[in-house]
Amino acid sequence: MLDIDFPLVLSWAVLISGAIWLFDVVVLKPRRIEAVAAVENAKGGGSVKLDAAAAEPLLVEYARSFFPVLLLVLVLRSFLAEPYQIPSESMVPTLQVGDFILVNKYAYGIRLPVIGTKLIDVGSPERGDVMVFVPPHDSRYFIKRVIGLPGDHIRYENKALFINGKRAPYEFVRQFRESVPFARGFVTVREYTEVLDGRPHATYRLTASDQSKSREWEVPEGNYFMMGDNRGKSDDSRRWGFVPEENIVGKAVAIWVQKDPGWHWPTFARNRWIE
């Protein structure tokens, strides 16, 4: 999940700075012009009084300076691309904690910021895409992989993924031990290469817990079924359901920098396109 709602913060910054600037143009500036004229016409009016009458309030000066910049950033972030940082392990090994990713906002259509209404239809999510979205149960941004498209039948049984009755192809890569808090010790993790519609990606599966449960879902029209690549540590559609089309933010396309939590320098060693 991605905790900070940057578009909302940025939208409010644009709205407030624009409102201050507009209020100055409509109300305050005419008053300053009148005050300057009164000082010039008055006998004994000096430069100090003239400067005071013409002075622009500091808040207005800041709003006038920042509004065009904030508006430009809002347009670029809302309609073209936006950076995010990965805060959790749900997409390991594809995305590591601390990865800064670039999200293509244009890939799935041009939308209004914050409310998400689509203005221009450019494309739709494809199975295997790594997508940023707002889940139905939370106001924060999440990032997961698109597993189920509208109309798909999804089954998850014994840690195996079935789409429309067919098991997703996979190949074992390696096995290792990892410390897991909820297991109070070490568990075995298996890495696989899974293939969705001809597109391979890495997944982690814990060998402990949830071994025999079988669950099935029918993806409604206009919705998507999302799962994290780190299947044992991902809070996803298996628990909270489907992602409505209007909640889509964009497609994650690249890792552009990585910074481990704490006092660590950023590194470009993980720069790559996201598969």
Q: Which residues are catalytic?
A: 90, 144
Among 7, 112, 25, which Cα is nearest to 63's?
25
Dist. CA 256–CA 273, nearest whole Å: 9
Q: Alpha carbon of 109 to those of 103, 105, 130: distances in Å?
A: 13, 7, 16
Among 94, 128, 123, which Cα is nearest to 111's?
123
Q: Alpha carbon of 243 to those of 127, 133, 223, 273: distances in Å?
A: 14, 8, 5, 24
Triad 166, 168, 169: Cα angle to 5°? 115
Dist. CA 62–CA 232, nearest whole Å: 49
72 CB neighbour count, 10 Å cutoff: 11
Dist. CA 31–CA 52, nearest whole Å: 13
Q: Which amino acid is at 263?
A: W
76 CB neighbour count, 10 Å cutoff: 12
> Is 132:142 a contact under the CB 8 Å cutoff?
yes
Give 157's contacts (C-beta < 8 A, 6+ positions apart).
213, 214, 215
Dist. CA 182–CA 193, nearest whole Å: 26
Dist. CA 125–CA 264, nearest whole Å: 35
